[in-house]
Amino acid sequence: MRTPIISTTATSLKFEWEEEQLRIIVSRLHNHTDGRVTGEIDVKTTAPSVPPHLHRSSFNFVAARSRKELATILQNRYALEWDVILEQVCYHTLEHIRRGEPMEELQAGDEVAPIEYLVKPFLPVGQPTIFFGEGGTAKSFIALFLTILIELAWEENPLSLEVKGSGASTLYLDYESDAQELRYRVHCLKNGLELPDFRLRFRRCYVAACGIVHR
């Protein structure tokens, strides 16, 4: 069997076998402290007369038993060399998650561009920012205020924060408050700061954290 074509994104690996008309996507990878590597595996085919969806479940990439059990399930749905296929998937997935970033050599005399910010000094472009503190210390309000600064490209803001010229699209992700509570906070900030009308994209999530996504 040929080696699959492998492509990666920030959150997944995609394996494709053209001759076998097979595609497997591996996502939600987690490298556990006890040595396990788990994730979600999604198996699909474009073969005629075979249902396109073959299997989707969580999977342990270091357990031979998990590999054997999944191969049996898949063999009953689409006859292929599943032991070889899953060995390839597991091998390349483990190589990917464990190799880490390549080493770089930094020279102190190198010319470097200054760091760019969406909102200086809080949101460097392309980098994560984490606000950490006890509950009730206004972390969510700070995140919401920064979102408004970006949405409005509000350069003359009351905190004199430097905002990048043109507004970017933002998505406010909240793992604690629902849409109604966020709507109330937006209303308070809009009226208190005498802001013009604006729209805010919001999504309710279910893990303890809070954040802004911008692009």
Q: pTM of this prediction?
A: 0.66
What's the structural domain count of the chain?
Answer: 2
SS3 165: coil
Note the pLDDT tens digit of each residue in 55-110.
999 999 999 999 999 999 999 999 999 999 999 999 999 999 888 778 888 888 88
Note the pLDDT tens digit of each residue in 116-140.
898 999 899 888 888 888 888 888 8
166 and 202, same domain (yes or no):
yes
134 and 187, same domain (yes or no):
yes
| Backbone angles phi and psi of 47, in degrees to 5 | -65, 135
Nearest to 53 by CA among 40, 44, 64, 41: 44
Distance CA 125, CA 113 (A): 13
User: Does 38 fall in a domain?
Assistant: yes
| 169 neighbors 215 (Cβ within 8 angstroms) | yes
Note the pLDDT tens digit of each residue in 4-21.
999 998 789 999 999 999
User: Does 110 fall in a domain?
Assistant: no
Count Cα neighbours of 60 within 13 Å in the Cβ-side half-sphere. 11
93 and 138, same domain (yes or no):
no
User: Does 107 fall in a domain?
Assistant: no
11 and 80, same domain (yes or no):
yes
Domain ranges, residue 146? 117-214
Report residue 211's pLDDT band, with 50, 70 and 90 as the boundaries.
Answer: low
Note the pLDDT tens digit of each residue in 176-188.
888 999 999 999 9
Task: Using the predicted structure, report yes or no on whether residue 166 has a pLDDT greater than 70.
Answer: no
Check residue 173 and report its DSSP letter.
E
Q: Where are the beta strands (DSSP E) in 36-159?
A: 37-45, 53-60, 117-120, 123-124
